[in-house]
Each structure stands twice: as structure tokens, then as C-alpha cells.
Amino acid sequence: MLRPLKIADEARLALANLTDAASDLTVPSLRLGVTGLARAGKTVFLSALVHNLMHGGRLPLFQAAASGRLSRATLQPQPDDAVPRFDYEAHIAALVNDRIWPQSTSQTSELRLTLEYESASYLSRKLGPGKLHLDLIDYPGEWLLDLPLLRQTYAEFSSKAVRLARADNRAAIAAPFFAALAEVDPESPESDTQAQRLAASFTEYLSACRSETMALSMLPPGRFLMPGELAGSPALTFAPMDFPTDAAPARTGTLRAMMERRFEAYKTHVVRPFFRDHFARLDRQIVLVDVLHALNAGPHALADLQEALNEVLVSFRPGRKSWLSSILSRKIDRILFAATKADHLHRDDHDRLQAILRKLVARGMDHAEYKGAQVDVLALAAVRATREGTVTEAGQELPLILGTPMPGQMMNGEQLSENKEIGLFPGDLPKNPDSLFETLESVSQAGKFATNSSDLYTPDDHSYLRFRPPRLEKGKDGLTLSLPHIRLDRAIEFLIGDRLT
């Protein structure tokens, strides 16, 4: 198995950890990673977390705030000068003033929030108020899916990518890529033109996989869909090729050798720096998951999400926290998996949503807990865009969610008004999550889905609309309240509560 980092990288990481540990002697810090795959709500979560902590949000399950021990939360200059700052002010303005959802994460960013608090311990209080630097590291979940590439050869990457592209649900959208692949011989002389054509075709295929209707998650290399400043560079101009994994080494000067060289450059210049400079320095992690979107896209999307989450979990460094490990090999001692957009469901379905996510990450949870990390799962809405109501029909009360649709939302073939609140019966998630996963198992074993389960969830079982962020209410004192949420306080308590005791 290949090492995720080279010896020089490990030494550089240890030096960075030692620098962090020295800084913590003055004011301790906690590096919290916030990630999730496309549409999971990373930017919204981070913005809502900071807004509620800074503005005294309603956080009854966050004990430091509920007990009045949290004195103040303020933004500070971030410690890493080479990392872009998370644009909190612009994102909050979009949510609060414009009532639109902020732009999604496309790069790594960071924000430092300093928390001042009174300790719950009598002896600690005598020493004066406590202080904690909370460093929030925001990064695209798609980049996590690149980390397993560090342990793969180009032949192994190609074999897996080609196998995925030939799956029943991907074959049609992958057809143009396979057509382009059929026109080249891996053993032909290297050619920039052919490499660019194959890379462009492969990227178009990955983009189609991520569309609203497909909603697939297994889409490495992650930078192909978020190239940033690397767009057009040789490190992003390669594609998998169809050849046996036990084929003889590529001859120098061939197209296959060129692709292999660029694949290795991608690992060296893109994946390893991300792992070394950001991911391997995290103390705790929250992974946001848009389970509802995968459910609505169908069983293939849910199976793909499960595989992607398992890939993500393999990349973590879970373990118990110790002073020595924080220097030599930093461990993530708490991991929270959160199913987002719980406000799209009635509260009676929240436990079902949570149970589905728990099933999706079961294998990874077992691994992390075995290594000594604490792991939890919950359903949340970092910003609650709906409220609940009921309607009586045929003498029976039915639960509704009420909200204002985003522009362009359709229902029953008609476009909904973006300025008028509507009531929607959201439907029900399956009472027995096992029925979903019996179906998913049939994918891995037979390559197709069983269709004889009467309890099988279908997209028609749940109505999915996008709602506008809410108007902020005012309290009795006339002050504007913080952004409403569902279980954001429980997430905060799990992630940082023990550091404020």
C-alpha cells in the first residue's frame, strides 16, 4: 500500500503541529473541518454556526450558551496567511438581507472565531475566564474523494473509473467518453491534443453525473469539476484509459505513459498538499450529507452516496486525542455526520432520516469508534426555511411544512410564486430503513435493483422543493433574532462543548 505522505511531508506536518501546539500554550485552539459533497449546505452551516454564536442564538442544547457561561464570540484574523478567508459577511448578507442561499464551496477557506467563556468548574473559574480559538476549515467534500488516489496507481485508478462508467446507470452519459477513448491507442505516441480531448470528455461525463437528476457522488478526481487556478494545467489534463491492471509498464513516450505521469503529478501537486496542509491538521470534523437529494434521485444515487461516504471515511485519521499525537500524527477525535435540510420534512420523519444516514455510514462509524474517536449522527437544518402546520382532509389531520419557494420551483407542472408562502405535504420516509439497504445490497451483488419490495422508497414518496431563507423575527425587546435552525445547538455541543467546560 502506498504512503499517503512522503517522509519529508510527514516531517513538515509534524513541524506545523508543533507550531500549533506552541501557540496553544497561550490560547488553546480547535481546528474543526466542515465538509460535505455537492449541495450538502457547507456554506450555510458555517454561516449559521458563526451567526448564532456571535448574536446569542437560541441554542438550548449547547450548554455553555444555555447556562450563560459563553460570554462573547468574536471574529479574529485567521492563523494561516496562505488560506483564503471564509467570506462570512457576504454569506450572511445573502441569507438575511437578500433571502437567497449563498454560493457553494469551491475552494478551501478558513475563519477564526474566538470564544470567551466562564468555566463550569469552580477551581477553573478562580483562574479567570477561559478562551478558545475555534478555527473553522471549509473545504469541498469532493476533494476528500481524491485522498484514496494517494494509495492507487494509475492502472488501479483507470480500472475503477472505467468500471464505474460502465455501470447501468452511468453507461448512457459515459458513451461520448468511451467513444473518444475508442479512437485512441494507449500505446500510441504521446499527444497533448489527444490528452486534452480525453480529459474534456471525461470531465463532461463527471459533470453529467453530478446533475440534479443523477445526483451521483463518486466523481474523482474532484478538481476536474472545481479546477480553479489549475484549469488547463497538465496536472488536470489526463483521463482513465481502458487497459488491464496487470499490463506491462507503459513505454516512455506513449500516451499511456503521459497519462500516468500526469496522474502522478495530480497526486503530487494537488492531493498531497491538501492532505498535508489542511486535512491532516484537523482536530474534529463534521460531514454534511444531503440524503434527501439522493433519495429523490433514486436508488442508484443512494448506493453511490453510500460508496462515496465509505471512501471519505477511509481517509480520516480517527483516534483518541493526546499531547504526543497532536504533534507527531494529529488525530480526529470527534466526527459528526449530519443529514441536512431536515426542515424539508415533518419532525416525525427526522428520526427516520437520521436512521438512514446512520445506515449509510455504519461501516465507517465502526472503524472510527474502534480507533478511539467519538462519532455521532443527527438530522439538522442549519437554517430553518420552513415551519410546520396541519390541514384537515376527510376528517384526518395531515402534517404540512410551510415556506416560500425559491424562484423557478415547479409543482404539478406549474411554476410557484416566489413571494407567496405555500403549504406542502412532504410525504414520508420509509418506516424501516433496512428496506432501503436490502435494495442497495442488490446493487453491489447483482448490479441491479430488486423490485419486489412493497416497502421500497421511491422519489414520489417525498415532495422536494427549494425554499427561500426565512425573514428574521424580532424578539419582545425589538431586537432581530438569530437565524432559526433545527438541532444546530446539538451539533455545536457535540463538536466543541467539552472544550468549554
Asked whether residue 442 carries a pLDDT value surpassing 90, the answer given is: no
List the chain domain ranges.
9-139+278-384+484-500, 151-270, 387-461
Tens-place pLDDT, residues 265-296: 999 999 999 988 888 899 999 999 999 999 88
Mean of the per-residue pLDDT values of the chain: 86
Tens-place pLDDT, residues 136-155: 999 988 888 899 999 999 99
Q: What is the mean pLDDT of residues 122-137?
A: 79
Tens-place pLDDT, residues 85-110: 999 999 999 999 999 999 887 789 99
Asked whether residue 124 carries a pLDDT value surpassing 80, the answer given is: no
The answer for residues whose C-beta is within 8 angstroms of residue 9's C-beta and 6 or more apart is 272, 276
Q: What is the mean pLDDT of residues 315-343?
A: 80
User: Which fold does the domain 9-139+278-384+484-500 belong to in CATH?
Assistant: Rossmann fold (3.40.50)
Is the pTM higher than 0.75? yes
pLDDT for 323 equals 55
pLDDT for 196 equals 97
Strands, E, within 330-412: which ranges?
A: 334-339, 374-379, 387-393, 396-403, 410-411
Cα–Cα distance, 29 to 133 (Å, whole number): 4
pLDDT for 393 equals 80
Output the nine-digit C-alpha cell for 97.
Answer: 438581507
Reply yes or no: is the peptide bond before residue 426 cis, omega within 30 of 0: no
Residue 487 has, within 13 A of its CA and on its CB side, a CA count of 21
